[in-house]
């Protein structure tokens, strides 16, 4: 792609039948246990407002001044949307990751959700620097960078609200916490449940007793309390991580429950009273994990809104699939958008 060109993903033509030449439908080579990265990258590649912002001519030109994660990430994203070959290599991004996150430096299998969390954080930090350099070139911007928003925070960042009610005196306290991924517990001993069951378990009221008692600012003492969690600010892109890896006694296990999920997700029951609107989301990507703790493999199912088709990505292998196969008992991370792309 020439340096001066710019992308308009919605208007690019679809090419027939073969994978080569299809925009955004390009496999990623496995360069040594890199399936966890490849699956996450395919889901981000299908996040259209994210892609369109990063592949804009202005963003690509500005990122050329930086040599960290964002620049090589965007270069890979660009090759994936060119569609000039059936697959491409993620080696540059994976080589850059260990400079910030050493745990990704070895060619060993890693957790896809952990990578996604770190990757979004690294992109956010790089993009903040780019934005700040436009506004105040040459000045010390460390203080203002803490509050600088980017396409990452605009799309993926939401806010939880915790209402703590102290049982002794009735005092109430509220605290907010931002998030980019919601990690949902799976109900114990369930072979089959729904994503709504997992959300209900995450947002259910908890009681703090014994060693878990909380400090009451009204009493000045540790007191028993209840904590109710609400969704205070729903993000544009809602990422749900199913906590399949955990402990059973002293043994680490993978929970194999079949968690059913639909193409549309209603989160209205979990919203705080300050959010006065119905909130529903549309599924567009899924990270799949097959196997166990010691040996497993990641793939991805993604919707391409340019071609209006679902595709299954298994490293460099790509296959168009029907939407009915998206429901998988091995779903690990779900990507929902509040607006259809």
pLDDT at 90 over 60: yes
pLDDT category at 129 given cuts 50, 70, 90 is: confident
| Distance of alpha carbon 60 from alpha carbon 72, whole angstroms | 10
Give the residue numbers annotated as catalytic, written as ranges.
35, 297
Q: Are 162 and 177 in contact (CB under 8 A)?
A: yes
The pLDDT value recorded for residue 135 is 64
What digits encode the pLDDT tens for the residues 281-296? 999 999 999 998 778 9
Q: Is the pLDDT of residue 336 over 60?
A: yes
* Tally of CB atoms within 10 A around 191: 9
Three-class DSSP labels, the chain: CCCCCCCCCCCCCCCCCCCCCCCCCCEECCCCCCHHHHHHHHHHHCCHHHHHHHCCHHHHHHHCCCCCHHHHHHHHHHHHHHCCCCEECCHHHHHHHHHCCHHHCCCCCCCHHHHHHHHHHHHHHHHHHHHHHHHCCCCCCCCHHHHCCCHHHHHHCEEEEEEEEECCCCCEEEEEEEECCEEECCCCCCCEEEHHHHHHHHHCCEEECHHHCEEECCCCEEECEEEEEEEEECCCEEEEEECCEEEECCEEEECCCEEECCCEEECHHHECCCCCCCCEEEEEEEEEEEECCCCEEEEEEEEECCCCEEEEEECCEEEEECHHHCCCCCEEEEEEECCCC
At residue 140, the pLDDT reads 53
Q: What is the pLDDT of residue 145?
A: 43
Mean pLDDT of 183-208: 91
Q: Is the pLDDT of residue 101 over 50?
A: yes
Q: pLDDT at residue 138 above 60?
A: no
Give me the pLDDT at residue 308, please.
Answer: 94
From 210-219, 257-266, 312-321, the region with the lowest mean pLDDT:
210-219
- The pLDDT of residue 268 is above 50: yes
| Band (318; pLDDT cuts 50, 70, 90) | very high
Q: Report the DSSP beta bridge partners of residue 297.
A: 290
Instruction: Tell me the percentage of the chain whose pLDDT exceeds 90.
Output: 59
pLDDT band, very low/low/confident/very high, at 109 (cuts 50, 70, 90): confident
What average pLDDT is seen over the chain? 86
Q: State the pLDDT at residue 68.
A: 77
Q: Return the pLDDT at 63.
A: 80
CATH architecture under which domain 27-132+150-337 falls: Alpha-Beta Complex (3.90)
Facing residues of 87 across strands? 27
Token digits of residue 214: 């909380």
Look at residue 99 in the predicted model and tell me its pLDDT.
Answer: 87
- What is the pTM assigned to this prediction? 0.88
**210-217: average pLDDT:** 88
Answer yes or no: is pLDDT of 142 > 60. no
Q: Tell me, what's the pLDDT at 258?
A: 92
Structure confidence at residue 107 as a pLDDT band (50, 70, 90): confident
Confidence of residue 17 (pLDDT cuts 50, 70, 90): very low
Give the bridge partners for 83, in sequence order. none
Say how far apart CA 199 and CA 207 lie, in whole Å. 18
């Amino acid at each position: 792609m020439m340096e001066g060109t710019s992308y308009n993903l919605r208007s690019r033509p679809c090419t027939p039948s073969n994978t080569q030449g299809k925009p955004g439908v390009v496999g990623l080579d496995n360069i040594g246990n890199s399936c966890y990265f490849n699956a996450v990258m395919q889901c981000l590649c299908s996040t259209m407002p994210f892609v369109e912002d990063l592949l804009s001519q202005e963003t690509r030109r500005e990122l050329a001044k930086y040599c960290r994660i964002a620049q090589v990430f965007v270069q890979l994203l660009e090759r994936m949307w060119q569609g000039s070959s059936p697959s491409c290599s993620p080696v540059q991004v994976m080589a850059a990751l260990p400079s910030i996150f050493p745990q990704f430096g070895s060619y060993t299998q890693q957790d896809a959700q952990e990578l996604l969390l770190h990757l979004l954080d690294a992109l956010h930090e790089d993009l903040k620097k780019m934005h700040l350099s436009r506004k105040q070139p040459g000045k010390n911007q460390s203080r203002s960078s803490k509050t600088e928003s980017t396409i990452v925070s605009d799309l993926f960042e939401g806010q939880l609200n915790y209402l703590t009610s102290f049982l002794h005196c009735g005092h109430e306290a509220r605290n907010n916490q931002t998030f980019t991924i919601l990690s949902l517990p799976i109900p114990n001993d369930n072979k089959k449940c729904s994503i709504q069951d997992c959300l209900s378990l995450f947002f259910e009221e908890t009681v703090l007793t014994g060693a878990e008692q909380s400090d009451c600012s009204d009493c000045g003492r540790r007191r028993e309390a209840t904590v109710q969690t609400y969704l205070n600010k729903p993000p544009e892109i809602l990422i749900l991580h199913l906590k399949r890896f955990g402990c059973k006694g002293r043994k680490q296990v993978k929970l194999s429950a079949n968690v059913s999920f639909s193409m549309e997700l209603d989160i209205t029951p979990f919203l705080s009273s300050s959010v006065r609107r119905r909130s529903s989301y549309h599924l567009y990507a899924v990270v799949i994990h097959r196997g166990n703790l010691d040996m497993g493999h990641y793939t991805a199912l993604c919707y391409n809104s340019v071609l209006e088709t679902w595709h299954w990505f298994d490293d460099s292998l790509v296959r168009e699939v029907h939407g009915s196969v998206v429901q998988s008992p091995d779903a690990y991370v779900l990507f929902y958008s509040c607006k259809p792309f």
